[in-house]
């Protein structure tokens, strides 16, 4: 449609220009007398030309109404300017053709610029993303720092459980057994003592720690707490000659709470001494203390042990204690106490200070938080070695065996087993002091033990069927 309109414009231009040339030539040859007539003819021809141009313009307007708006054609130029006009029209056609082939170039460019401007204005700053990545990386580093020591410790414990125990690392007949309160409060009879004797004959058990407390928070102990003490000691001596019966005394310390026994008070320590005199007078052959939670470095406890040792030795009795575990890593009790408020472990140096003040020290080598038998056994082997290194030869060292099956935080029954504990004890003994005579195991506790526990103890430690 555009090409036809351009052709018409060019045709009209050429036709008009030709008439004008002809007129010029005619005027140049026409006599002056005919000029009036000629002027009238020119006027008529001009009117017809204007009418033709008007008709063409109307036709062009009609076509413009039906077609998209385009630039109106330029007015005809003189003949001499026609080539330039045609050139401009050709340039216009080329531009229109280019615009038709690439309509999005001119129209899309401003829109794209607007979109980019909008994105630049609305796109979030990369800083939050960078900060989030930085935080995630920091957390990963912290987690790695926390997990690496644990994984390293676990690998060390597993390695500590490997190898074979040395020959002869079995009972030295200085083992012990913790007994419940029923043995002194009237619930047990002679028949129970006879059954206990059958259970213990042929084993290495020499001491019985019979629960006779607990102490009151002020250190006192009413005689009503152990009414059958004298009967029990006599019955055990009859059925099991050579086995000693000790009073197991203990209480919760006020070291991590508002209530409990306060060893820093002189009156409390004096009351504990009086309670010890009373149980020895009732027939017990020793006093066994289990005070928890006892923090490493407690000097009041050491002072109490000095006084108790003097008292018991003056009466020919035995002084024994249940001891906390030793730091598996240097100063671990300080780290654990800071993070949890419960130090749990003793330093090896403090363990040595306690061991020098007593006749027997029994390590509570259970409630270890180990999830696997191999890790638990490796842990017991480590504890055995650590304790052997600092316990004097004059003190009996006993390692605790878990004769109970609770499942709670810190203790998994499937991991803390008697076979794993005995193997760990033998491995630690083999590596540190295989020939030590004053050494044994302590079984906790009689009323929770199973036949499998007793079988494992006899088979793996006593070496009897």
399/383 Cα distance (integer angstroms): 9
Average pLDDT, the chain: 82
288: preceding bond cis by omega (within 30 degrees): no
Cα→Cα distances 245→196, 280, 308, Å: 13, 10, 17
pLDDT at position 400? 98
Nearest to 439 by CA among 403, 400, 402, 399: 399
Tokens found for residue 79? 């003949």
Q: What are the two backbone dihedrals, phi and then psi, of residue 428, each rounded to the nearest 5 degrees?
A: -65, -40
Percent of the chain with pLDDT over 90: 63
Q: What are the two backbone dihedrals, phi and then psi, of residue 427, each rounded to the nearest 5 degrees?
A: -65, -45
Residue 134 burial (10 A CB sphere; 0-12, 13-18, 19+)? exposed
Angle made by CA atoms 345, 346, 348, in degrees to the nearest 5:
130
9/360 Cα distance (integer angstroms): 127
User: In the 8-state DSSP scheme, what is residue 184?
Assistant: T
For the chain, how many helices (H) and strands (E)?
Answer: 14, 8
Q: Is 64 left (phi over 0), alpha (psi -120 to 50) or beta?
A: alpha
Tens of pLDDT along 20-46? 434 444 444 444 444 445 555 555 565
Cα→Cα distances 198→37, 182, 236, 251, Å: 163, 18, 11, 32
442/376 Cα distance (integer angstroms): 17
Q: Compute the radius of gyration of the chain from its Cα atoms.
A: 55
pLDDT at position 37? 52
**Cα 98 to chain centroid, rounded:** 66
Number of Cβ within 10 Å of residue 433's Cβ equals: 17
pLDDT at position 152? 85
pLDDT band at residue 464 using 50, 70 and 90 as cut-offs: confident
pLDDT at position 435? 96
Q: Give the sign of the dihedral formed by CA 56, CA 62, CA 66, CA 71.
A: positive
402/404 Cα distance (integer angstroms): 5
Nearest to 232 by CA among 195, 269, 186: 186
Tens of pLDDT along 198-234? 999 999 999 999 999 999 999 999 999 999 999 999 9
Tens of pLDDT along 296-342? 999 999 999 999 999 999 999 999 999 999 999 887 767 767 777 78
134 within 8 A of 355, measured Cβ to Cβ: no
pTM of the full structure: 0.71
Dump the DSSP string for 91-105. Answer: HHHHHHHHHHHSHHH
209 within 8 A of 276, measured Cβ to Cβ: no
93-122 average pLDDT score: 48
């Amino acid at each position: 449609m555009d090409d036809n309109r351009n052709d018409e414009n060019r045709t009209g231009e050429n036709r008009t220009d030709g008439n004008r040339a002809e007129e010029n030539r005619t005027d140049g040859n026409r006599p002056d007398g005919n000029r009036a007539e000629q002027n009238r003819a020119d006027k008529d021809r001009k009117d017809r030309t204007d009418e033709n141009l008007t008709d063409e313009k109307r036709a062009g307007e009609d076509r413009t109404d039906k077609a998209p708006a385009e630039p109106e054609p330029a007015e005809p130029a003189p003949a001499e300017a026609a080539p330039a006009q045609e050139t401009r029209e050709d340039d216009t056609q080329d531009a229109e053709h280019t615009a038709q082939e690439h309509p999005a170039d001119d129209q899309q460019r401003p829109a794209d610029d607007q979109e980019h401007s909008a994105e630049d204005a609305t796109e979030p700053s990369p800083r939050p993303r960078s900060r989030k990545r930085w935080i995630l990386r920091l957390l990963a580093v912290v987690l790695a720092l926390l997990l690496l020591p644990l994984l390293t410790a676990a690998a060390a414990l597993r390695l500590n459980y490997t190898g074979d125990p040395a020959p002869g690392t079995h009972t030295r007949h200085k083992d012990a057994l913790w007994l419940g309160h029923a043995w002194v409060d009237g619930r047990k009879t002679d028949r129970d003592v006879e059954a206990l004797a059958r259970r213990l004959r042929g084993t290495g058990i020499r001491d019985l720690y019979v629960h006779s407390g607990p102490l009151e928070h002020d250190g006192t102990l009413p005689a009503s707490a152990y009414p059958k003490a004298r009967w029990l000691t006599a019955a055990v001596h009859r059925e099991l000659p050579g086995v000693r019966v000790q009073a197991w005394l203990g209480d919760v310390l006020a070291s991590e709470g508002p209530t409990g026994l306060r060893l820093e008070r002189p009156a409390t320590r004096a009351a504990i001494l009086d309670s010890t005199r009373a149980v020895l007078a009732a027939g017990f052959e020793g006093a066994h203390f289990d005070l928890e939670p006892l923090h490493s470095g407690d000097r009041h406890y050491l002072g109490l042990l000095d006084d108790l040792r003097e008292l018991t030795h003056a009466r020919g009795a035995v002084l024994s204690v249940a001891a906390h575990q030793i730091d598996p890593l240097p100063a671990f009790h300080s780290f654990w106490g800071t993070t949890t408020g419960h130090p749990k472990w003793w330093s090896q140096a403090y363990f040595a200070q306690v061991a020098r003040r007593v006749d027997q020290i029994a390590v509570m080598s259970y409630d270890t938080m180990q999830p696997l038998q191999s890790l638990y056994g490796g842990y017991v082997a480590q504890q055995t070695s650590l304790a052997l290194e600092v316990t004097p030869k004059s003190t009996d060292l006993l390692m605790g065996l878990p004769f109970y099956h609770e499942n709670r935080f810190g203790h998994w029954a499937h991991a803390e087993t008697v076979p794993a504990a005995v193997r760990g004890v033998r491995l630690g003994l083999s590596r540190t002091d295989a020939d030590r005579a004053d050494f044994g195991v302590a079984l906790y506790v009689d009323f929770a033990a199973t036949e499998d526990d007793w079988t494992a103890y006899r088979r793996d430690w006593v070496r009897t069927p």
